[in-house]
Structure 1
């Protein structure tokens, strides 16, 4: 099968005739650890510089008091005396400026005599930003995909060229907002203002932070014989609490590093490609892939709310730029699996592994339990930060995180990962959940108090006496996965035990019409951004369209109710999550429309998800613009769900594409079982498909055509069944190409 190794094209690039004048509309560059935003600040070209581990790690003031106990919270809820809980554990998050992600600094270049900008170009293929001015000055800049540095090259500049390093404002009048969305003032952190030192063609900036933390920015440049000016910037950090190793010194030059950088991105883009007739959605997908490659790396912290693009506005970033595990981090990694970027996704799980001891400390301290619980809102090293504790200290967070271990196993079939990481994590979560659940009078297992993000906000009414569908779905998934993985490893007694625990939970709460509810006593009756009641449909896949009429009724009616109540209080990620739900319901038209609304109304010109309806077109009553990334990556996942699904025990190709999409193709999308698929559809019919069995093994394919023949078969045994499925038994590396027989 002829394949386009990279579907990425210049048509997907960002092209502008001027630089943005806001940081959240800037050209984004990044390598998972370092990031830059390229924009115009008055008469100056500005590079906003960031590093993922720049964090103020001070403990949240007042959080760890003697009342810091799940049982104490349970008692307060039962007494209906909830105000002390709000004051002790919710209020500090809004009141205190730290712990928090912090920005790095900025580089500025005076461009007042360069004339107007006439062209700005972000090449996705090479992750290169180019800017041209009317007087002939040209800039090329990139954040090195391999080394810890950003590089720049200016052509046709004057001899008096000199960058200026701009430090964040850590001293000065405090403009406190007490608003975690708008961001507090940086000066509230109380740092001494860092020192900037200039020596010839080198500038350094050293900033001391809290508790022995410091970071340094270094800028170097030189004039070339050609007349061009080339240079680099880098940021090194010293997190005393994390014992961060010193970064290696920067070596090489612009051309050498650019060659290595391009090679990394060439490999990245070779992993998967799509081709669809909707230009808006196709371009947005490639922009999401680009941002994922820029923000997700092994060896770097996982994707936080803004990843390597912290707000450059003199303030602490929205929601402190932290790790929100009640939705945001999870959605950010949804596209990694079928998108064939498992390596980048391992940065997420490596982070969880590295902080496991801290999670166990928290589990013992707050829940007085063994096993693994993870706070819903954490710092860089996984320490709890407070906030609305129904979610920031929810007991089921680690179960949703467990799904990412499960998906990494199912899509990679890496038995070493299964044995050493996936099952130990899922078992640890299962041990914890078993220990903190109780049985009601009918022998049904439940949490003492349950919640559903972020229903009824942080009030007493946000706690429910029976399991919410959110908590129930996560617990059911965790014990189901624990049983499956234990059986896979031959631990039959453990598998039997987890299955027994699973059977002790009740079914999901539904209305008479079969609509999923938040809790047994609360239906979905008003618009909300977080579809926590629908977790069993997506992402957890416990209620499957493929299970037949009863499941289809629940899925269809739950989505219908969501639609009928409307989007008043949706944010951008609500649309992309709903697209995933509709794709699971095989409704391609509706899924595509939700993705279009997201791309048109909830994204900045540079493709950043800005949460609110920027068009003010009735898609939401939220019109604000805090930048977070989870909506972007849920978009990519939603489009991939339209093109391939494998969660139901078989592979289905193009299960949810609009009727008008007659010509569609993709290369190297990944299915569970570690199968890579490439498919070509022309004139409304699948013409050919290629399957590569990375690890071998068995799978089932829902045949996309009535008759077919194998144009190529290397190591695959086929069995055609009567129900429209094809069973494949593959050797490792086995490959088969099937073509439409056109009956």
Structure 2
């Protein structure tokens, strides 16, 4: 850090690293603080009544001073070096961070700044959008900035409140809450092509796998993975008071939220929530190393449901699975049915991709085919999706819309009747929950796009939400939900500019074509990077970069203008192609393909 005095008077100040006082710490721990001239360091260690012993250390050094007090003359600059580490990074984190800070020289600050600027330059160049809307563009890039700042450590991704914890015990322990909160901040990173920042999401979940398998066996007597609602890094169940207590916190016991031995709020779907993000990253990248990483978890979750479901009267039924938090004995929870369909299809596709478990695919396909239909109800001559077939039969549509996004089960190509039922649910909430529900903004707005809502309405409501609900730092005002809405604007805009679910490139599916817009290198299912532009009321081009060499299925955006003869410029070589409403292009890894109407391409050449 560089602190420059641009005034005309000497500044006098003091800079200290402090540990919490014993009266506010509230946890059994060991703390230390040392000062040695211009260097000071602190540490805090938790090794009593914990699952995972933890120690963290910070060091601070001010140059050209001999104590924590400094005198900064007019026009002068104070150089401050700081660092932090933990026992997960080095055997002795205190010694390590002190040595690192001691070794820093003033000329190193230039290198640090260069590395910092280079990192952010690479990050911003991953993709971009230009909307001509300063309010939404600011919110879009601010959200990406938040996740770029917070999500870098593979094994310690940001919790509910990001990396900015200012209290000893934040709400929900600042944990990874698995019934959508942990998933939500990452939704926009996939299509925005920030894969490096999306990866840390996975590691606490995978680290919990062994414990989750034990839960399934101990509580249900079946194999597979069963997750609690709250976890931490390194396989920690954050809903417990501690190993000494051996049970969840008393509050949850008193209010009936604990069943089957763990705090799950009677929901069996926590692990299914986890798969939604994994599925998106699988389909968006087809990265074999990543698929290998998450495949055992997805298979383990499906293994739980293979045995938990009951086969009755020609269908698979899910009993006693609450759609909302609480002791609700729901049957065929709609959200679970949607997420389970997503998990099964992902597992089938990734098993084929890896060439594994071919003998299991018929069973998975059978469950997928014979899984119970979504429950419905009639009102005023319209059919709506219901929360569940039996049990808590409320019509909480924002929860149900999660099967549209992030669950991916209802979209433009879905069965028209199912699509209409989902639209009826969304329309019923349009004046209340759909646009203003703070807990489900990250799924409601993208769902509205996938359901084909009017683009002007979506953008107007989104702009209003951002302008009235967001603080300058991008967090919702007076709201406990932390960083979970970081994806809301990014995902909504990207879905409006590019649809790729299920595996088809459809540019500007929900966009007012009178408004010029441009995007570059948004990521699409099938491992494609896509660029395009609207100018003068029409699509100027589609540019595709194929990472994995998969077939590319494209919706022809020019059919509305009667154009079906296209120029396909592949790696500099052009061919003429007659295309219908949709067409397929075989690709090879690294192919760069530019698609235009044939006449437009020829005019460009002239």
Q: What residue is the counterpart of 1:87 in the other structure? A: none
After TM superposition, the structure 1 = structure 2 runs for residues 73-222 of structure 1, keeping only pairs within 5 Å, are 151-156=1-6, 161-165=12-16, 167=18, 169-172=20-23, 186-191=24-29, 194-211=31-48, 213-222=54-63
CA contact (8 A) 1:219 1:232 kept: yes
Q: Distance in 2 between matches of 1:580 and 1:499?
A: 28
Residue 738 of structure 1, aligned match among 580, 588, 595: 595
Indicate whether 1:406 and 2:276 are aligned: no
SS of residue paired to 2:543: strand
1:378 counterpart = 2:231:
yes
Match among 369, 372, 392 for residue 506 of structure 1? 372
**What's the CA shift string for 1:370-392, capped at 9, x where partnerless?**
22222221122333315544745
Aligned match of 2:482:
628
In structure 2, the CA distance between the partners of 1:715 and 1:493, relative to structure 1 (3 Å rule), is farther
Residues 645-681 of structure 1 show CA distances to partners (whole Å, capped at 9, x for unaligned) of 1012311111112455x21000100111111111111
Pair 495,514 (structure 1): closer, same or farther in 2 beyond 3 Å? same
Query: Which residue of structure 1 aligns with residue 149 of structure 2?
Result: 294
- Report whether the alignment pairs 1:282 with 2:137: yes
Check the 8 A contact 2:333/2:388 in 1, yes or no: yes
* Residue pair 2:545, 2:591 contacting (<8 A) in 1 also: yes
Alignment partner, residue 267 of structure 1: 122
Distance of 2:373 and 2:92 partners within structure 1: 47
Q: Does 1:474 align with 2:331?
A: no
Partners of 2:575 and 2:220 lie apart in 1 by 52
Aligned residues of 1:710 and 1:736 also touching (Cα < 8 A): no
The structural deviation recorded for 1:395 is: 2.4
* Distance in 1 (alpha carbons) for counterparts of 2:394 and 2:457: 21
TM-aligned CA distance change 1:244 to 1:480, over 3 Å: farther
Distance 1:203 1:539 in 2: 47
Tell me which residue corresponds to 1:133: none
TM-score using structure 2 length: 0.83
Structure 1 SS opposite 2:385: coil
Counterparts of 1:656-735 in structure 2 under 5 Å? 656-658=510-512, 660=514, 662-706=515-559, 707=563, 709-710=566-567, 712-714=569-571, 723-735=580-592
Distance 1:720 1:428 in 2: 45
Offset of residue 715 of structure 1: 8.1
User: What does residue 81 of structure 2 align with?
Assistant: 232
Q: 2:435 and 2:448 mapped to 1: Cα distance?
A: 19
Q: Quick one: distance in 2 between partners of 1:191 and 1:688?
A: 61
CA distance in 1 between partners of 2:300 and 2:83 (Å): 39
From 305, 310, 316, the counterpart of 1:445: 316
What's the offset of the Cα at 1:300? Answer: 4.2
Match of residue 604 from structure 2: none
| Cα distance change on mapping 1:533 and 1:406 into 2, 3 Å | same
- Could you tell me which residue of structure 1 aligns to residue 288 of structure 2? 415
Residue in 2 aligned with 1:63? none
Deviation, 1:741, is: 5.0
Q: Confirm or deny that 1:515 pairs with 2:384.
A: yes
Q: 1:328 is matched with which residue?
A: 181
Deviations 1:6-47 (A, max 9, x none): xxxxxxxxxxxxxxxxxxxxxxxxxxxxxxxxxxxxxxxxxx
1:655 aligned onto 2:509 = yes
CA deviation map 1:512-541 (0-9, x unaligned): 323111112468756x5x822223222112
Alpha-carbon distance in 2 for matches of 1:299, 1:514? 44
CA distance in 2, matches of 1:522, 1:717: 60
Three-state SS of the structure 2 residue aligned to 1:547 is coil
| 3-state DSSP of counterpart to 2:403 | coil
Out of 451, 460, 484, the residue aligned to residue 593 of structure 1 is 460
2:304 to 432, 436, 445: 432
TM-score by length of 1: 0.68
Offset of residue 357 of structure 1: 2.3
CA distance in 1, matches of 2:388, 2:202: 31
Structure 1 residue 298: Cα displacement: 4.5
1:375–1:393 contact (8 Å) kept in structure 2: no
**Structure 1 residues 501 and 521, CA gap change in structure 2 (3 angstroms):** closer
Residues in 2 aligned to 1:594 and 1:581: alpha-carbon distance in whole angstroms = 14
Partners of 2:122 and 2:566 lie apart in 1 by: 32
How far residue 397 of structure 1 moved from its aligned partner, in angstroms, is 1.6
In the alignment, the residues of structure 1 paired with residue 229 and residue 12 of structure 2 have an alpha-carbon distance, to the nearest angstrom, of 48
Distance in 2, matches of 1:416 and 1:399, equals: 21
2:146 is equivalent to residue 309 of structure 1: no
In structure 1, the gaps of 5 or more residues are 1-150, 173-185, 611-623
Q: Is the 8 A contact 1:170 1:191 kept in 2?
A: no
RMSD: 3.0
Summarize the Cα distance change of 1:709–1:245 in structure 2 as closer, same or farther, 3 Å threshold.
Answer: farther
- Aligned pair 1:487/2:359, yes or no? no
**Cα pair 2:332 2:390 within 8 Å, conserved:** no
Against the structure 1 CA distance between its residues 446 and 378, is the aligned structure 2 distance closer, same or farther, given a 3 Å change threshold?
Answer: same
**Structure 1 residues 399 and 245: alpha-carbon distance in aligned structure 2, compared to 1, 3 A threshold:** farther
Q: Distance between the aligned counterparts of 1:358 and 1:245, measured in 2?
A: 28
Distance 2:92 2:152 in 1: 17
* C-alpha distance in structure 2 between counterparts of 1:237 and 1:393, whole Å: 36
C-alpha displacement at 1:742, in angstroms? 6.5
